[in-house]
Amino acid sequence: MTHRFDPTSLREYDIRGIVGQTLGPDDARAIGKGFATLLRRAGGHRVAVGRDGRLSSPELEAALVEGLTACGVDVVKTGMGPTPMLYYAEATLEVDGGIQITGSHNPGNYNGFKMVFQHRPFFGEDIQTIGTMAAEGDWDIAGEAGQVTEADILDDYVGRLMAGYAGGAYRIGWDAGNGAAGPVIEKLVKLLPGEHHTLFTDVDGNFPNHHPDPTEEKNLADLQRLVAEKNLDFGLAFDGDGDRIGAIDGQGRVIWGDQLLSILAEPVLREEPGATIIADVKASQMLYDRIAELGGNPVMWKTGHSLIKTKMKETHAPLAGEMSGHIFFAHDYYGFDDAQYAAVRLIRAVHMIGKSLTEIREAMPELINTPEMRFQVDESRKFAIVEEVLDRLEADGAEVNRTDGARVNTPDGWWLLRASNTQDVLVARAESHSQEGLDRLVAQIDDQLAKSGVQRGPQAGH
């Protein structure tokens, strides 16, 4: 028996596709067999399996478990919950790996798989290996099938989120976006001091209220309305599988991922002076300057949750974050991206800083930046174009950081051009102290793209 995946489904950080078109139960079964075979060969034998609230998740879960057990691996089903709850299960139960069935922040007709293998991220080459094994039928089918048990860890997980809580009592709005974090948020707010108002905590894979992606401001409109109507201190929002956080202050202004990290870094650096804090290449210069000002060691790294987690282990960083709202705490926690835990730590950070979130936001330097600009390009050209741009810039003597694409510093500010790891697009962003400066930076991006034959087309937002 062999299996062929749709090539678009095997991504850099996970496996993802449109259910019924590029992803289905046969793929889930093959993933289970491949993962189980690799785990058995590495000496492991038990896997935790969780799922989000999408309509297709139970069917994919059943097929995945079938594949895992067929190759002799025991499965502990943790049920429906956010991705970090599955990561928590993988870190604390006696298992050798974990798989979450989730479409993350994608539309409801998508689904996918995020994987952890013996306490490390399973991505890149690992995912391609699953594809190769399936094509070759390289699976070790066991004589005796693995056993399936269930573990109800929701209360343990919520208890862990609250462990050692030392924050103040605030009036907070919470928007779970009908995603998998809803039940966790409902339990969490009952334990937190203060006054809490929740939105859309019922899990609904149709996402009837708004798309569960807090990095797009339009998806925060309901939360902004709630905070304004009830005059709340601030608002928190979560993506479809609870691994990305969004936030607004008391005036409804968005606090972006890099701004959140600058707030969360302050208490961490008080407790661990001089520690390394990692952010991705899309983050504001303001963040790197702030970490240095607080006595920390700012490190710019590649975008992608698996890449950041790997870099954290290498540098022993207690905290890391991405512009996209993935926040990773290894300080008093396990090092994975957990929006529910980040929410608790944000409340604690505001309390420790001793100012309101609105005042903290007010004190941040006012910078003007573009939303994330996306340029459709041929998949085979995307990395080559970035190389061409880098070569031209360096020939001109520009100040360039090559960590992940091209990040260029100029007196006006900075701009970034990188190839997406998951789509056939180039992603660009720019930031300046003035509109005129920003216009000049964007003109430089356009000029470089034009020299490589790319014209500015329609763009997606932040």
Residue 457 is predicted with a pLDDT of 58
Q: Where are the alpha helices (DSSP H) in 154-237?
A: 154-162, 182-191, 221-230
Angle at 21 between CA 20 and CA 23, to 5 degrees: 70
Is 104 among the catalytic positions?
yes
Q: Where are the alpha helices (DSSP H) in 354-381?
A: 357-362
Pair 438, 432: CB distance under 8 Å:
yes
pTM, rounded to two decimals: 0.95
**Dihedral angle at the C-alpha atoms of 393, 395, 397, 402, nearest 10 degrees?**
50
Residue 427 is predicted with a pLDDT of 94
CA distance 49 to 26: 17
CA distance 246 to 74: 36
* Domain membership flag for residue 407: yes
Examine the domain organization and report whether 388 and 246 are in the same domain.
no
* Domain membership flag for residue 2: no
pLDDT digits (tens, 9 = 90+) for 345-395: 999 999 999 999 999 999 999 899 998 899 999 888 999 999 999 999 999
Residue 439 is predicted with a pLDDT of 97
Domain of residue 387: give its range. 368-451
Pair 433, 368: CB distance under 8 Å:
yes
Examine the domain organization and report whether 346 and 242 are in the same domain.
yes
Query: Which residue, 342, 362, 382, sits at the end of a domain?
Result: 362
Query: Which residue, 135, 151, 167, sits at the end of a domain?
Result: 151
- Domains identified in the chain, total number: 3
CATH number where 147 lies: 3.40.120.10
Examine the domain organization and report whether 285 and 316 are in the same domain.
yes
Residue 258 is predicted with a pLDDT of 96
Residue 459 is predicted with a pLDDT of 47
Examine the domain organization and report whether 21 and 139 are in the same domain.
yes
Q: What counts of helices (H) and strands (E) characterise the chain?
A: 14, 22
Examine the domain organization and report whether 325 and 399 are in the same domain.
no
* Domain membership flag for residue 100: yes
Active-site choice (57, 104, 420, 432): 104
Examine the domain organization and report whether 96 and 120 are in the same domain.
yes
Residue 167 is predicted with a pLDDT of 87
Sites in the chain below the pLDDT cut of 50: 458-462
* Domain membership flag for residue 457: no
